[in-house]
Chain A
Amino acid sequence: MTDTSAIAPGLKKDVLLKIRDLKIEGFTGETWVPIIKGVDLTLHRGEVMGLIGESGAGKSTIGAAAMGYARDGTRISDGSIEFDGIELTTSTEGEKRALRGARIAYVAQSAAASFNPSHKLIDQYTEAPLQYRIQKRLEAQEDAIELYERLRLPNPGEIGFRYPHQVSGGQLQRAMTAMAMSCRPDLIIFDEPTTALDVTTQIEVLAAIRDIVDQFNTAAIYITHDLAVVAQMADTIKVLLKGEEVEEASTEVMLKSPKEDYTKSLWAVRSFERPQKPRPENATPLISVQNVDASYTGGDKVLDDVSFDIYEGMTVAVVGESGSGKSTTARCITGLLPPSSGQILFKGEPLPPKYTDRSKDQLRQSQMIYQMADTALNPKVRISEIIGRPAQFYSGLKGTALKSRVDELLDLIELEPSKYYDRFPPELSGGQKQRIGIARALAAEPTFIICDEVTSALDQLVAEGILRLLDRLQKELNLAYMFITHDLATVRAIADEVVVMQHGKVVEQGPKTEMFKPPHHPYTDLLLSSVPEMDPNWLTTLLEERGVDNVGEAADV
């Protein structure tokens, strides 16, 4: 796949999909606005093209358009889409339907929502082959089982006879890939197939998809926002920005020497890294989590004997996959979820377990910045009041003193006070909202801030800006951060110490430099090695090292 000879000149002539000057519009409730502003795309047989871009770049819309499909509220307004000589923009619904499933197939982002809960997996698999009378039911079932086996699903003979909710997310995603393969289509559209998965699960799905596409020499459009993932999967990469193409080149060329400034900036994002700080000597930790167990009402233990310390002015990254208990730990520290045993110390003094029992000053000391800036700011409250309220609440500032404090805070987060003072959150961009969230935390004059996945909902350039801002604020105000993240690139960039969590337990902890050097705990190792790298041969090498049967769930420790 990553071998560029796959698109050797001889093959190049055999064009499968040709999109010219495609324009798509979306309905906003009042008018139609352009989403795709004239994109060209040429895909050859057996070629895998990666479509990459930030959210809102229109990748997914182009993917659907390649099937001649416009989602509700969008319409193809101009251009041509030619699939194997058939013009899709002018063909009838019936003609397009005959292609879908049979010659062009689709793999959706959320497998759990895209499988019909009322039917067994294998019945959903056989639907298309039966529809197109390619195979009889039993043949189709045998075929399904064979594909399940090739996709390395556990119990391939049996898994198809389960219902979607009885199968895990990573397995469902592979079952959906099998379903897309059922009629051996010429083209498959993969729409962010691994975005919803954890890194360790992502690998197995990536490997399975890559193998199967290779084996049947299927052409594919692989849509993602993750550069490292697309580097593993695609022969060619096309970069999109706001509905327009930035550039297209073969994967190797694109990685080595991107031409456009925008593409370069995407590559450059991971350059920020700040030096690691040592722990201060003979100091009491600012926050000390001691032997904390916790569970939600009536549920199993979600935290099991969690202990770690955070010192003044330092950043501790808490790393783990979804369900590892990293966010629950934050809830224990803030007092939203009182631990069932163990305690939290602040400067050596135990904090009351429930936030309602804590004093104003204790509450002020630790603040939180949230992942989704959209839900973290009240859309109906002005910026001045969002930032001003903590200052008023804790320090009793009023009138001009309050206003100058808000101005000062806006200056601190690099937003022009006069421009933003009276605005409402929905008028701001994602990055700006996140900055307002930071300002609200700073307004309380805290010593400790919990950053819960603060950059994961942001585009990479913007995320970089936020990380730099947080770093600057830490130096200026001597803040301690607890950085909850699943993204190891972020950890590398900003952390001093790392805590690795799995299944509610701390698996390993220590200074960053040590954590990124072997020997590790096996889980840390798995986690570290599962994070895709920009090297196009990374997946191949990794699979060789681990062996194909030893990835993902199989490698679970």
Chain B
Amino acid sequence: MGDIASLIFKRLGYGLITLLVISIIIFFMVELLPGDIAQAVLGQGATEENLAALREEMGLNKPAVVRYLEWLSGAVVGNFGESIVTGERVSSVITERFINTLFLAAYAAVIAVPFAITLGVIVALLRNTVFDRVANVLTLTSISSPEFFLGYILILYLSVKAQMFPAIASLSADMTFLELLHRTFLPALTLVLVVTAHMMRMTRAAIINLLASPYIEMARLKGTPPWKVIVKHALPNAWAPIINVVALNLAYLITGVVLVEVVFVYPGIGQSLVDAVSKRDFPVVQACCLIFAATFILLNLAADVGAILTNPRLRHPK
């Protein structure tokens, strides 16, 4: 077990360092701003006095490294400073929205993951048949469509024409859970469509790759029935690739969520990011970017740890 523990620790450490480097990139990129933040906030017409006052207020007179360390130590405890535009604490704006985004992603994942993996395995077993080819064309089409295309099609047909679901996924505090699911169904479905296609293709590739192993042929030549070949011989070795597929696609959800939130006017963190970008509200942009990147890294980390834990060679060292 020692091997596994040390491998996982190494991987965790590597993830932490990556996150640190990313925080540096996110922070210092803003420093590359032509002029500085104060200039960007007040615009070209600002007077020297106003600029100086704002710089003083935002602590811009301190060296960048000091400000970075302050920002980072704040970020660790969830304090991202104040919004330039509204003056509100960034964390108070973002926290609730982040939870909303996580809810939407989880909603989509709960539907997409089992669905996509089952379909992926089925398509892998039916490879080179008509169904496989049709699935190939359909998934390629789905992957190729921008999220807003799928989203608007769903709105057009399921909301405007069929009037089954609301086109705008606004939330209110007094909703029941069922109502919530109903309101957010269309954005979730959009995400499901994109992610399922990706996940199906990757699962299919992973399974086909596995079925070509000599030990699968050996199992067949031992007279093992086909279902048992899959369950007993293929599946135990398929965990690592499948975990990888799931994590990669959950990470993909995180990016896809931004566009979907805008289409459905969903109060998530992606929407805040887009607003902040157009208003050049840098503390909010930095906070959102850091949160997205951290989630992304965490998911990749989970995939790698999963792969380590399910690897028989590592679980049973020599």
**A→B interface (CB under 8 Å):** 67, 69, 71-72, 97-102, 105-106, 108, 110, 113-119, 127-128, 131-132, 162-163, 165-166, 179
Contacts and interface: CB of A to CB of B under 8 A. Distances in A.
Contact of B218 (A72, A98, A106): A106
A471 B48 CA distance: 89
A127 B223 CA distance: 10
A522 B224 CA distance: 46
B222 A116 contact: no
Interface of B: 212-215, 217-225, 228, 232-233, 236-237, 312-313, 316, 318
B225 A116 contact: no
A106 B221 contact: yes
A440 to B, nearest CB: 35
A99 B223 contact: yes
Given A116-B233, A119-B236, A131 B221 contact: no
B223 A102 contact: yes
B318 A166 contact: yes
Given A113-B214, A166-B316, A166-B318, A118 B237 contact: yes
* Most B C-beta atoms less than 10 A away, residue of A108, A118, A128, A163: A118
15 contacts: A69-B220, A69-B221, A98-B223, A99-B223, A100-B220, A100-B223, A101-B223, A108-B217, A108-B218, A113-B215, A115-B218, A116-B215, A128-B224, A131-B225, A165-B312
A97 B220 CA distance: 8
A163 B312 contact: yes
A165 B223 contact: no
B2 to A, nearest CB: 16
B214 A118 contact: no
Contacts of B233: 116, 118
Contact of A117 (B212, B219, B224, B313): B313
A118 B237 CA distance: 7
Contacts of B237: 116-118
B271 to A, nearest CB: 45
Contacts of B228: 131
B224 A101 contact: yes
Contact of A113 (B213, B222, B232, B318): B213
Contacts, number: 77
A131 B223 contact: yes
A118 B224 CA distance: 16
Contact of B221 (A101, A118, A119, A166): A101
Given A113-B214, A116-B218, A163-B312, 7 more contacts: A101-B222, A106-B221, A118-B312, A127-B222, A128-B222, A128-B224, A131-B225
A97 B316 contact: no
A73 to B, nearest CB: 11
A99 B220 CA distance: 11
B316 A163 contact: yes
A97 B223 contact: yes
Contacts of B313: 117, 163, 165
Nearest to A182: B222
A114 B223 contact: no
Contacts of A179: 222
A74 B104 CA distance: 49
Nearest to A110: B214
* Most A C-beta atoms less than 10 A away, residue of B223, B232, B237, B313: B223
List the 5 shortest-distance A-B pairs measured between CB atoms, nearest first.
Answer: A101-B223, A100-B223, A118-B236, A101-B222, A113-B214
Contacts of A106: 218, 221-222
A114 B221 CA distance: 11
A238 B41 CA distance: 88
Contacts of A113: 213-215
Contacts of A162: 316
Contacts of A72: 212
B217 A114 contact: yes
Contact of B222 (A71, A100, A163): A100
Nearest to B221: A106
B318 A165 contact: yes
Contacts of B222: 100-101, 105-106, 127-128, 131, 179
A53 to B, nearest CB: 22
Contacts of B212: 72
A179 B217 CA distance: 15
B313 to A, nearest CB: 5
* Most B C-beta atoms less than 10 A away, residue of A101, A116, A131: A116
A105 B224 CA distance: 12
A189 B274 CA distance: 66
Contacts of A110: 214
Contacts of A101: 221-224
A125 to B, nearest CB: 10
Contact of A67 (B213, B221, B316, B318): B221
A97 B226 CA distance: 10
Nearest to A167: B318
A149 to B, nearest CB: 22
A101 B228 CA distance: 14
A555 B218 CA distance: 31
A315 B176 CA distance: 88
A298 to B, nearest CB: 15
A99 B221 CA distance: 9
Nearest to B310: A118
B316 to A, nearest CB: 5
Contacts of A132: 223
Contacts of B219: 116, 127
B225 A97 contact: yes
Given A165-B318, A166-B316, A115 B215 contact: yes
Nearest to B318: A166
A177 to B, nearest CB: 13
Contacts of A71: 217
Contacts of B215: 113-117
Nearest to A67: B221
B59 to A, nearest CB: 47
A72 B212 CA distance: 9
Nearest to B235: A118
A553 B151 CA distance: 66
B241 to A, nearest CB: 13
A105 B223 CA distance: 9
A338 to B, nearest CB: 29
Nearest to A72: B212
A131 B224 contact: yes
A114 B237 CA distance: 13
A165 B220 CA distance: 21
A146 to B, nearest CB: 20
Contacts of B220: 69, 100
Contacts of B316: 162-163, 165-166
Contacts of A114: 214-215, 217-218
Contacts of B232: 119, 127
A87 B233 CA distance: 29
B214 A108 contact: yes
A101 B212 CA distance: 20
A117 B221 contact: no
A118 B219 CA distance: 13
A128 B223 contact: yes
A148 B42 CA distance: 83
* Most B C-beta atoms less than 10 A away, residue of A72, A98, A114: A114
A69 B275 CA distance: 63
Nearest to A69: B221
A100 B221 contact: yes
B225 to A, nearest CB: 7
Contacts of A100: 220-223
Contacts of A117: 215, 237, 312-313
Contacts of A118: 233, 236-237, 312
B7 to A, nearest CB: 16
A106 B214 CA distance: 12
Contacts of B218: 106, 108, 114-116
Contacts of B225: 97, 131
